[in-house]
Structure 1
Amino acid sequence: MRTGAKVGIGVGAAVVVVGAAAAIWGPGLYADRANSVAADAPALEQPAAALPDADAVAGTWTIGEGSFAGYRVEEVLQGNDVTVTGRTEDVSGSVTVADGAISAATVEVDVASVATDEPPRDVYFRDQAMEVGDFPTATFELTEPAPLEEGATAVELTGTLTIHGVSQPATVEAEIAGDATSGEPVQVVGSVPITFADFDVEAPDLGFVTVEDDGSIEFSLQLEQ
């Protein structure tokens, strides 16, 4: 059995960088700066659109340009709360609608391309925490059909989330925007709460910086047919 990899999503091998910056600016100013560059949570670019009859959108939809995925975690730096986000646009996969429901869906994320505002943090995240040489991707795969209710603006997706080579059941509450019958992309956004230990990843406590045990995976997908 592998030992838990210590995730430095907020610190890791970048301890020296974070510590030096905090010492120069002061923890409060460093926290303010870090929070100012954290990405906003994914949001619909237009108001949620009611789903038409599922038969009207039957077929396979692919994840297209403009999609992204990433993570959000919280740190505590000497008593100051810090939000850290990582993002990548290297997302692929497809969604199939049949018999009045989403019958299949697969989303794959290139973990090695996830980036924050701190390159040293990203190096640690890729090489030591997530071990991308062995586990280059994270995936979500639907395991149960998700009925599409006519007039609904959201859908619940039940599936398997695989991160760092570990698979766990996950439920995603997703919002939808766009006219699915217009030929234009349909946007789907959502997030999945995770506990690092469930994926054999240990959030460190380094004294002056503590990473919370929980975080979330966030996504915004542009689906094209």
Structure 2
Amino acid sequence: MLVLLSGLALFAARPGPGTPPLALPPGGAAPDATALDGTWTVAGGSTGGFRVVQTVLGARSGIAGRTGEITGTATFVRDTLTVAHFSMDLRTLLVNGKTQPQFATSAGVTDAPVATFDLTGPVAATGLGTGTTVTAPVAGRLSLHGVTRPVVAQVSARRSADRLELAGAIPVVFTDWGIRAPRNYGPLGSLDAEGTAEWLLEMRHR
């Protein structure tokens, strides 16, 4: 989910505030009568990708890769998230609306084109069915670059009309997934050696 390496996007964004993290949008509609229990499926309007901090001439800003090619499901039983699996097609990530020529090589996309997250333990979601925003750490396994490791995602969720909205983030240290550290350019610019995999999902009851 998170891949910006080997100068992939250095200087891709001018110094400034940069791209903000994905998060639940302000407001949200009152939930309808759809029960929370059951299986929810990722729907159109979902987005995900990575965010990493760059330094250019001493100024730090966030840059991001984004894709809408996300699939997955989440299952609730008695207000508890019991099963979740999400996949993201890394071949479709865009930085500033464009593909990056170094991406496939740096991220090993040819051999591992899809990143996945799988829940590894139940998560209480008390109040979610009534429209309350629930925020919790969520343990799972992240598969990226052909490597699977345990992670803890910070997730916020809420019901809005007939949708379930999920926003989450996972810190990723490149070398933990066997990804080469970014090439830096001294005082001219550099990329941090870690970043954040993140997503904002619109889900519908199946």
The interval holding the TM-score normalised by the smaller chain is: 0.7 to 0.9
Contact 2:133 2:158 in 1 (8 A): no
Partner secondary structure for residue 105 of structure 2: helix
CA contact (8 A) 1:108 1:140 kept: yes
On the 8 A contact 1:63/1:221 being kept in 2, the answer is yes
For residues 186-219 of structure 1, what are the alpha-carbon distances to aligned partners after superposition, in whole Å with 9 as ceiling and x for unaligned? 1111211111111111222233321111110111
Cα distance between partner residues in 1 of 2:4 and 2:155: 30
Partner Cα separation in structure 2 for residue 165 and residue 134 of structure 1: 8
> Pairwise mapping of residues 98-177 of structure 1 onto structure 2 (< 5 A)?
98-117=77-96, 119=98, 122-125=100-103, 127-150=104-127, 153-177=134-158
1:1-225 aligned at under 5 Å gives the runs 7-8=5-6, 11-12=7-8, 18=11, 31-32=14-15, 35=16, 38-47=18-27, 56-117=35-96, 119=98, 122-125=100-103, 127-150=104-127, 153-179=134-160, 184-201=162-179, 202-207=181-186, 208-225=188-205
Structure 1: state its 5+ residue gaps: 22-29
Work out the CA distance in 1 between the residues paired with 2:4 and 2:137. 32
Using the aligned pairs only, state the percent identity. Answer: 25
Name segments (4+ residues, structure 1) moved above 3 Å.
Answer: 46-51
Q: Is the 8 A contact 2:173 2:195 kept in 1?
A: yes
The TM-score normalised by the length of structure 1 is: 0.76
Q: Structure 2: how far apart are the matches of 1:70 and 1:205?
A: 22
Label 1:215 to 1:6 Cα distance change in 2 as closer, same or farther (>3 A).
closer
Structure 1 SS opposite 2:102:
helix
SS of residue matched to 1:149: coil
1:49–1:153 Cα contact (<8 Å) kept: no
CA distance in 2, matches of 1:88, 1:43: 15
Give TM-score, length-normalised by structure 2: 0.83
Q: State the AA in 2 paired with 1:187.
A: E
Higher helix share: 1
Residue 152 of structure 2 aligns to a residue whose secondary structure is strand
More strand by share: 2
Mapped contact 2:37–2:77 kept (Cα < 8 A): yes
In the alignment of these two chains, the number of paired residues is 196
CA drift of 1:99 comes to 4.1
What is the deviation of 1:107? 0.8
> Which entry has the higher C-alpha Rg, 1 or 2?
1
Name structure 2 gaps, 5 residues minimum.
Answer: none
Q: Distance in 1 between matches of 2:144 and 2:113?
A: 9
8 Å Cα contact 1:75/1:211 also seen in 2: yes
